[in-house]
Amino acid sequence: MRLAHRVSYELIKGPIPDALPLDHLCRVRRCVNPSHLEPVTLQENIKRGEAGAYLKARTHCPRGHLYDEENTRVGAKGRACRACSRMHTAAYRERNPGKVEEGNRKSKERRATQRRGRQPAPARTHCTNGHPYDEENTFRRADGRRGCKTCRRAAQKRYNPKRSKVTPE
């Protein structure tokens, strides 16, 4: 199946070079006027296009709230209306009071624990495989963390059996 604008261009102006896409200079996709069409590379056609322009032109969200600096949050997925987000959150909390209360309780407990100044966990004395962290079995990685020399030797033997002697970093 051949598209009408391509047939029109070929009949009036001749073959389309290298099967390039035709750019509608008038921005009307159903237009078949050959004087409104120009063969360009795909990259050029995309660059000239107005993809997403209709979304950027919107001044209000679907519920009618104004998109302004105070009411608009911009994220990876685009713009979001803060007023609508607040309404969604309130509706969720109304539908799920148990979940919200449980989440709030856990958050409060976590904050209270942090305020009390919990003691940090004691330093580990052994690696995850049970080898002791002592003078001859411990090395420091470039980022400052401790490492187990025995585990490192075993890993290097598994992945590079030709190396018999291993030197830690």
pLDDT of residue 43: 87
- Which tens digit of pLDDT belongs to each residue from 13-49? 999 988 789 999 988 889 999 999 999 998 888 888 8
Element (H, E) at 132: none
37: burial class by Cβ within 10 Å (0-12, 13-18, 19+)?
A: buried
Q: Which residues pair with 148 in a beta bridge?
A: 138
- Which tens digit of pLDDT belongs to each residue from 41-82? 988 888 888 777 777 788 999 999 999 999 999 888 888 999
The pTM assigned to this predicted structure is 0.38
Distance CA 99, CA 1 (A): 56
pLDDT of residue 93: 84
Within 8 A by CB and 6+ apart from 8, the residues are: 32, 33, 34, 37
